[in-house]
A and B are shown apart, each in its own frame.
Chain A
Amino acid sequence: MAELMYWEAIRRAHDEELANDPNVIVMGEDVGLIGGTYKATLGLFQKYGEQRVIDTPISENSYTGIGIGASMAGMRPIIEIMSINFALLALDTLINAGAKIRYMSGGRVTCPFVMRTPGGTAHQLAAQHSARLARMFMSTSGLRVVTPRSPIDAYGMLKSAVRCNDPVIVIEHERMYNMKEEMPDNEFFRPLEGAEIVRRGTDITLIGYNWSVHLCLDAAKRLEKDGISAEVIDLRSLKPLDRETIRRSVEKTHRMLVAEEDEAANGVGSEIISIVIEECFFALDAQPVRIHAADVPVPYAENLEKAAIPNVEDVYKGALKVMGRI
């Protein structure tokens, strides 16, 4: 066992997958010589060479397309987009091509590539570096979307994403790269599908993904002091969603809250609440609550940025509301 930071876990996954399969390549802006903006590929250019760890020009749409084209011919590219905001430039090749090639070829041509990209707000980066956008990718047929909350999942899910035969978007978070966790030294994989019950409880289900799982866990600790036993679910995969785990938990607790860092409209929270209504409406004893960002482009000023995104207090109070305590 060794304690690794989130970025170190991702780096380890890259290293092992590059070593495992000569068809694995990494491409993106500054992933090579300097080892990535978040150090996710540190030293791998020097270890595997410029043919396999490829520094690209600032051309997101076309280098994503090049990765997709290479995957159609048997390569396994890991495409890094420096910030999820820049992924908007790559939507044509990603969604119009990558997500559709298997289907529109009748399953005859496949494109197994991975796109990694950090979303989320962090340290006053302002509107053009703080998008989250998970809700947009999760509504696209033909993609898998996963959101590792910890170094173990960041490592194990990236490895699974490289091995699986589908296009996978891995959404990381700018504020999680330095998060630490004890990890086994031996190689392991974490499945891409399936939500995880990360805390057991009986009174209310708190649902999050990526960063918001940590808000839910912290809120659960505070609720415990109030005598409320909260169950916390990490969705892990936003596409496909694990309806079964959500249903079983809500059938047990009869109350739910869903927390996301993104804006509310057409979002993860709306989708989860729809699922609960479809799956187990009559199990609910109280109205569900969703915790989400303000409906604004993320502001720069520190106090405004804080006010724009949800925090532990918001989740805690939301849970009290569901419990009828406020």
Chain B
Amino acid sequence: MNKADQKRLLREMIFFRRFEERCFEAYMEHKIGGFLHLYIGQEAIATGVLEMAKHKHDYVITGYRDHIHAIKAGAPAREVMAELYGKETGSSRGRGGSMHVFDPTANFMGGYALVGQPFPLAAGLALACKHKGTDQIAICFLGDGANNQGTFHETMNMASVWKLPALFVCENNQYAIGTRIDRSTAVLDQYKRMCGYNIPASQHDGEDVEVVMESAKKAIDHVRSGKGPYFIEYMTYRQRGHSMSDKTSAYRSKEEEQQWSERDPLKVYGAKLKKAGVITDADIKKLEQEVQDEIENDVIKFAEESPIPRVEDINKYVLDDNPDPRWIGPLQNIY
């Protein structure tokens, strides 16, 4: 990878970190409602995997921790923030919120609150790709907690039998809200569970974006070549709580958090690029300032100044708002 790309990737990750921190601040100011799940600590995975995907061409789908996947897939950050603000200009027109960001112009097919639900939806997107004979694939990001849902087993089985072009990315942050993986799951290495479905799988460091990219490339090539699904597991750590309402001290130790903070993906990549002479501390400071300005002057400003949805429009989007009378009718009775 050339130096310009390395620098761009670091800047993107700094942007994603700042975006999430700014969500936290806006939440504390009651500008954002509902549940808010931050991606802080896991940025290298969405960044690295989607860097290797075909931009706005492959389908991307995930759970409720979805802001960064949406932005990296191509959804404008200002529209994602406007969605969190509940504005009409938001990615989902203010109808979805933090957990349900959608942007079909980026083939980002949504964030879902039902843990494990995106597995079959992703397989369905993959089925459509295969059916239409395009070279697209479907990429599904979910956490380790999702793997104890029935949809995980059902979907892996069907994806394998039907050789669907789907990449399942497991972001193993080792906690399902407050329940650590060894308290809930019989097999700790998630990639090993793919033996049961005859799906090739591997496990990698999820905190080093270049390791993510390299492993994701192999997995994506496999899927795109028509050989069927691939399951890739990245070891990572969510630095914040599951959402804004849990205290991590209730379920994990300071020492553990400290250890993982050494593997913070921004620190890891910053150190790597400094060592390689790609970037200096001063450059990083400058990037941070640029990102801060962009988020305030563009992203937040857009979200703040956008209009809220009109209450008169509450019934829009339930069903097709302009249905074809040939199929819908209504049937005419002669009274």
Given contacts A57-B154, A105-B110, A108-B104, contact A191 B329 (CB under 8 A): yes
State how many angstroms separate the Cβ of A301 from the closest Cβ of chain B: 34
- Distance of A64 Cα from B114 Cα, bound (Å): 15
Shortest B132–chain A CB gap in Å is 7
Name the residue on A nearest B132 (C-beta): A74
In the complex the two chains form, is B331's CB within 8 Å of A108's CB? no
B274 vs chain A, min Cβ distance (A): 42
Out of B95, B103, B155, which one reaches A104, CB within 8 Å?
A: B95
Interface centre among A69, A164, A195, A245 (most CB of B within 10 A): A69
Which chain A residues (78-123) contact chain B, with CB distance < 8 Å?
92-93, 96-97, 101-110
* Complex CA–CA separation, A109 to B158 (angstroms): 24
From A55, which residue of chain B is reached at the shortest CB distance?
B161
In this assembly, does A135 line the interface, its C-beta being within 8 Å of a C-beta of chain B? no
Contact status A166-B333, CB under 8 Å: no
Do A141 and B124 touch (CB < 8 A)? no
In which size bucket is the chain A interface? 35 or more
Chain B, residues 222-233, CB within 8 Å of chain A (1/0): the string is: 000000000000
A194 engages B155 (CB within 8 Å): no
CB pair B155 A66 closer than 8 Å: yes
Please tell me if the beta carbons of B93 and A192 are within 8 angstroms of each other in the complex. Answer: no
Q: A142 — which chain B residues lie within 8 A by C-beta?
A: 318-319
Contact between A109 and B110 (Cβ–Cβ < 8 Å)? Answer: yes
Bits for B165-207, please: 1 = Cβ < 8 Å to A, else 0. 0000000000000000000000000000000000000000000
* A148 contacts partner chain B, Cβ-Cβ < 8 Å: no
CB nearest neighbor in A for B112: A97
Q: Is residue A223 contacting chain B, with contact meaning CB distance below 8 A?
A: no
Asked if B328 is an interface residue, CB under 8 A from chain A, the answer is yes
In the assembled complex, the Cα of A191 lies from the Cα of B102 at a distance in Å of: 31
Q: Are B327 and A191 in contact (CB under 8 A)?
A: yes
Interface residues of A in 178-194 (CB under 8 A from B): 189-194
Cβ of A61 within 8 Å of any chain B Cβ, yes or no, is: yes
Stretch at the interface among B12-20, B38-46, B115-123, B240-248: B115-123
- In the complex, the answer to whether B93 meets A65 with C-beta atoms within 8 Å is no
Q: B220 contacts the other chain (Cβ, under 8 Å)?
A: no
Pick the residue among B121, B129, B333 that contacts A68 (CB under 8 A).
Answer: B121
Central interface residue in B109, B126, B154, B319, by most chain A CB within 10 Å: B319
Question: Complex formed: what's the CA distance from A236 to B331 in Å?
Answer: 10
Is A144 an interface residue, CB under 8 A from the partner? yes
Say yes or no: B151 contacts A196, CB within 8 Å. no
A236, B318: Cα distance in complex, Å: 20
Contact A193 to B93, CB < 8 A, known contacts A69-B122, A69-B125, A142-B319: no
Establish whether residues B131 and A75, one from each chain, have CB atoms under 8 Å apart when the complex forms.
yes
- In whole angstroms, how far apart are the Cα atoms of A192 and B119 in the complex? 31
Contact B128 A69 (CB under 8 A): yes
- Pair B316/A107 contact, Cβ less than 8 Å: yes
Alpha-carbon distance A102/B154, docked complex (angstroms): 25
| Complex contact B326–A62 (CB within 8 A) | no
Q: Check B324 for interface membership: any CB of A closer than 8 A.
A: yes
- Give bound CA distance, A160 to B93, whole Å: 29
Q: Which of A68, A106, A245 contacts B317 (CB 8 A)?
A: A106
Q: Is the CB of B332 closer than 8 A to any CB of chain A?
A: yes
Task: Find chain A residues with CB under 8 A from B126 CB.
Answer: 69
Q: Out of B100, B131, B325, B331, name the residue touching A196 (CB < 8 Å).
A: B331
Query: Quick check: A101 and B110 within 8 Å, CB to CB?
Result: yes
Do B124 and A108 touch (CB < 8 A)? no
Question: Given A62-B158, A65-B119, A65-B155, is A71 in contact with B326 using a C-beta cutoff of 8 Å?
Answer: no
A75 and B126 alpha carbons, distance in the complex (Å): 11
Q: How far is the CA of A105 from the CA of B99 in the complex (A)?
A: 11
| Cβ-defined contact, A105 with B95, below 8 A | yes
Instruction: Point out the residues of chain A lying under 8 angstroms from B147, CB to CB.
Output: none
Residues of B within 8 A of A161 (CB): 327
B131 touches A51 (CB 8 A): yes
Measured between alpha carbons, how far is A61 from B59 in the docked complex, in Å?
21
Among A54, A62, A97, chain B packs the most CB atoms within 10 A around the CB of A62
| B97 smallest CB distance to A (angstroms) | 8
A107 contact set on B, CB distance < 8 A = 93, 316-317, 321
> Which residues from chain A contact B262 at a C-beta distance below 8 Å?
none
A residues in contact with B120, CB < 8 Å: 61-66, 68-69, 93
Q: Is A271 an interface residue (CB 8 A)?
A: no
Who on chain A is nearest to B140 by CB?
Answer: A69
Question: Please, which residue of chain A has its CB at the minimum distance from the CB of B130?
Answer: A51
A104 to B90, CA, bound (A): 11
Q: A61-B151, A65-B119, A164-B323 are in contact. Are A106 and B330 (CB under 8 A)?
A: no
Chain B CB count within 10 A is highest, among A56, A72, A141, for A72
Of A59, A73, A93, which contacts B117 at CB under 8 A?
A93
A248 at the interface (CB under 8 A from B): yes
CB distance from A1 to the nearest CB of B (A): 21
Closest to A252 in B: B335
Interface string of A1-36 (1 = CB under 8 A from B): 000000000000000000000010100000000000
B92 at the binding interface (Cβ < 8 Å): yes
Chain B CB within 8 A of A70 CB: yes
Q: How many angstroms between the C-alpha atoms of A31 and B65 in the bound complex?
A: 37
- Which residues from A are CB-within-8-Å of B219? none
Q: Which A-B residue pairs are the 10 nearest by beta carbons?
A: A69-B124, A191-B329, A106-B93, A65-B120, A194-B331, A194-B330, A62-B154, A73-B128, A105-B102, A59-B154
Of the A-B pairs whose beta carbons lie under 8 Å apart in the complex, a sample of 23, sorted by A's number, is A59-B157, A61-B151, A62-B155, A65-B155, A66-B121, A66-B127, A69-B125, A69-B127, A73-B124, A93-B117, A93-B120, A104-B110, A160-B328, A161-B327, A163-B326, A164-B324, A165-B323, A191-B327, A191-B329, A191-B330, A192-B328, A193-B331, A195-B333
Please give the residue numbers on chain B whose beta carbons come within 8 Å of chain A beta carbons, in ascending order: 59, 61, 90-96, 100, 102-104, 109-110, 112, 114, 117, 119-129, 131-132, 138, 150-151, 154-155, 157-158, 161-162, 316-321, 323-333, 335
